[in-house]
Structures are given as C-alpha cells and as structure tokens.
C-alpha cells in the first residue's frame, strides 16, 4: 500500500523520467529518501552524459553523496531496476524499493525480495505510458539501455 509520502516521491521520480525523455534520453527517474525527507533525485543520464552506468537509480545515489547508512532509506524508481541497480540496492543495504511500474521492464523484483528488500509495485499509469511511448519511438535506444541486440 502506498503512503502519501510514497506518492509524492514517485511523482518526483516520474518528473525526473519525463525530463530525461525531453532531453533525448531514457525516461527513468529515481529518488532516494529517508522517511519523508528527500535525500536526492536523479534520472538516467546514459545518453546525455555518454555514461553506460548512469541509470536513474545510480544517478540518484551518486547525487546523494556519501551516506553513513542506507538502511533507513527508500529508493523510488519509475521503472523496475535492472540487475546492476538491483545489485547496488543490495550492496548498499537499502531495505525498501518502491517501483512505479514493472510492466514494460521487470524481473528483478524476486531477486530483491530474496535478499530481504521490501518491494512495492505502484502500477503508475503515467510511468507506464511514458515508458511505452519511449520504447515505441526509440526501440534502438531502449535495446542499448538494457544491453539487448
């Protein structure tokens, strides 16, 4: 069940995704929060920065800077995290991930749950529509982002 705080941070993740889309990049946004406090926000910057590991979650974590702990945080993401980002969630000990949507891309939810991460899927229609549009309009860029030929 989504809290009002969850809804607020998912909206920021969506806005980051939309900004990335408008910049010509992959529309994936993310937020790191501690309770109801925003720690950082970011978006996929692979295209904009020419950085193959600058996924939305990685950008938000990078912008958060050094943290003494992540064990009291929640990561919000507009799209289900890839294996690289899922591994980082595990590495940092982030205990809770709220995913706006996993219809256009998913599969690592069980990996996260199997390592004790609480995963919540929001089925956000705006995120689904944005990602669907991106995949339809830029299939080559999407395939590159998820490392498929």
pLDDT in tens, 11-45: 999 999 999 999 999 999 999 999 999 999 999 99
What are the sequence ranges of the domains in the chain? 4-146
pLDDT in tens, 102-121: 999 988 999 999 999 999 99
Please give the C-alpha separations between residue 118 and each of 58, 69, 98, 113, in angstroms, as whole numbers.
19, 17, 8, 6
C-alpha–C-alpha distance, residues 134 and 21, integer Å: 8
Second CATH level (architecture) for the domain 4-146: 3-Layer(aba) Sandwich (3.40)
Q: Where are the beta strands (DSSP E) in the chain?
A: 29-34, 37-43, 74-77, 96-99, 118-121
- Which residue out of 4, 15, 57, 109 is catalytically annotated? 57
Judge whether 57 counts as a catalytic residue: yes
């Amino acid at each position: 069940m989504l809290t009002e705080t969850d809804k607020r941070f998912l909206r920021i993740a969506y806005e980051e995704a939309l900004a990335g889309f408008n910049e010509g990049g992959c529309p994936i946004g993310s937020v790191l929060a501690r309770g109801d406090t925003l720690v950082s926000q970011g978006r996929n910057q692979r295209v904009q920065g020419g950085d193959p590991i600058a996924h939305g979650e990685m950008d938000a974590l990078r912008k958060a800077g050094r943290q003494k702990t992540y064990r009291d945080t929640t990561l919000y993401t507009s799209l289900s995290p890839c294996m690289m980002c899922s591994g980082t969630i595990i590495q940092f000990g982030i205990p809770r991930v709220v995913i706006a949507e996993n219809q256009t891309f998913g599969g690592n939810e069980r990996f996260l749950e199997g390592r004790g991460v609480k995963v919540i899927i929001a089925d956000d229609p705006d995120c689904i529509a944005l990602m669907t549009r991106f995949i339809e309009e830029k299939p080559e860029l999407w395939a590159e982002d998820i490392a498929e030929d």
